[in-house]
């Protein structure tokens, strides 16, 4: 497996466990095909982003995160159900020393076309070679500002120049696709848009603006800094940008392109009325709990099946949850259901 030595895992396959060999389709009660798994491998994060964990991660990092064997069982089950894209998230997934092994496991699965990681980019240069060797296809980086001082204030880390240098190294030495995400803040939105446009002018990077989502512990900041995506869309429309066709296994972003730019600009608007119509994803936490929606108050524990290495039982439990997946989130009415976005990767 490239240059990595991935431990041999002995999970029961669907056929060894008596699972049905019917066509691999995972469909919810609203006829949406679910092909995208977002797996949080840890809820620990070393950053102190003011909109997520302003006081830093509280308490001790859990010592019972999903093991490599349990993750292999989970990935086998989702692959058997037609998953085409796996995103490894956190918290900050790079704090796991076996992240490259997890990437390699995901790449082994039949039908999985894209393996992605969402990261804050801390020590990206240190991890890049191992992630590339493991087969990483896409990296999403959280870059909330191109201003060094603003970045430091928002994250608690003065590392923006190093991060951007590491990104250029990645572009020059690998075929990993890069996307950057930034939270829309009223105070910085316009300046960050101009800086993002300059950054993607000659780089094959998509910079995506994400509308600020209210959680139970960021209400004051939300009401002070809430900025809709209309500002970005209006600017792009007035300057010759055109919306791109959304990929079937893609996320919720609307991406825009311009003939004079190598890169592109994206917008994620969770409060848009049709945001959930094309939902194609499920989330699993680092403790083996399925979240059918980012802001759903319920979660469902499938860890016993993962601990047993039973792919067939895992498949059965996932399929049984499909009628419970909600048609849409309830951000407008119940914004406080999630304490912070590090739990299941935002």
Beta 205-210 vs 264-268: how paired, if at all? parallel
pLDDT in tens, 158-214: 999 999 999 999 999 999 999 999 988 878 889 999 999 999 999 999 999 988 665
In a 3-state reduction of DSSP, which class is residue 167?
Answer: helix
CA proximity to 90, closest of 70, 55, 120, 50: 120
CATH number, domain at 230?
3.20.20.70
Question: What is the spatial distance between Cα 62 and Cα 288, in angstroms, rounded to a whole number?
Answer: 13
pLDDT of res. 60: 79
Does residue 154 lie in a domain region?
A: yes
Give the per-residue pLDDT at 279: 84
Half-sphere exposure of 100 (CA within 13 A, CB side): 17
In this prediction, the residues of the chain whose per-residue pLDDT falls under 50 are: 1-8, 10-22, 333-337
Tell how strand 264-268 and strand 254-257 pair up: antiparallel
Give the three-class secondary structure for 27.
strand
Does 21 map to a domain? no
In a domain, 19, yes or no: no
Query: Does residue 163 form part of some domain?
Result: yes
Calpha distance 181→196 (Å, rounded): 10
- How much is the pLDDT for 183? 87
Per DSSP, the three-state class of 322 is helix
Q: What is the pLDDT of residue 20?
A: 41
Give the domain extent around 173. 36-324
Q: Is residue 23 part of a domain?
A: no
What domain count does the chain have? 1
Q: Is residue 7 part of a domain?
A: no
CA-CA distance, 289 to 340, in Å (whole number)?
A: 16
């Amino acid at each position: 497996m490239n240059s990595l030595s991935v431990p041999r895992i002995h999970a029961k396959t669907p056929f060894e466990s008596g699972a049905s060999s019917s066509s691999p389709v995972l469909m919810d009660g609203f006829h949406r095909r679910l092909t995208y798994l977002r797996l949080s491998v840890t809820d620990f994060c070393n950053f102190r982003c003011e909109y997520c964990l302003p006081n830093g991660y509280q308490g001790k990092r859990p010592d019972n995160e999903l093991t490599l064997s349990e993750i292999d069982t989970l990935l086998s089950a989702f692959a058997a159900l037609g998953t085409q894209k796996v995103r490894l998230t956190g918290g900050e997934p790079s704090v796991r020393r076996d992240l490259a092994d997890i990437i390699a496991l995901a790449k082994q699965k039949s039908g999985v076309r894209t393996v992605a990681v969402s990261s804050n980019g801390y020590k990206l240069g240190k991890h890049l070679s191992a992630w590339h060797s493991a087969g990483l296809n896409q990296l999403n980086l959280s870059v909330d500002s191109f201003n060094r001082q603003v970045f430091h204030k928002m994250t608690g880390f003065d590392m923006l120049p190093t991060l951007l240098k590491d990104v250029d190294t990645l572009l020059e030495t690998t075929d990993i696709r890069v996307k950057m995400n930034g939270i829309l803040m009223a105070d910085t939105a316009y300046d960050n848009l101009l800086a993002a446009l300059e950054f993607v002018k000659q780089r094959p990077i998509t910079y995506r603006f994400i509308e600020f989502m209210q959680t139970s512990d960021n209400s004051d900041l939300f009401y002070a800094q809430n900025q809709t995506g209309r500002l970005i869309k209006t600017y792009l429309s007035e300057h010759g940008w055109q919306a791109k066709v959304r990929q079937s296994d893609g996320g919720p972003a609307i991406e825009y392109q311009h003939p004079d730019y190598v890169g592109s600009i994206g917008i994620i608007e969770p409060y848009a009325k049709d945001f959930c119509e094309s939902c194609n994803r499920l989330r699993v936490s680092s403790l083996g709990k399925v979240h059918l929606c980012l802001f759903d108050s319920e979660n469902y524990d499938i860890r016993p099946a993962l601990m047993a290495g039973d792919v067939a039982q895992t498949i059965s439990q996932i399929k049984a949850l499909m009628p419970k997946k909600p048609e849409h989130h309830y951000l407008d009415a119940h914004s406080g259901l999630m304490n912070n976005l590090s739990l299941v990767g935002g």
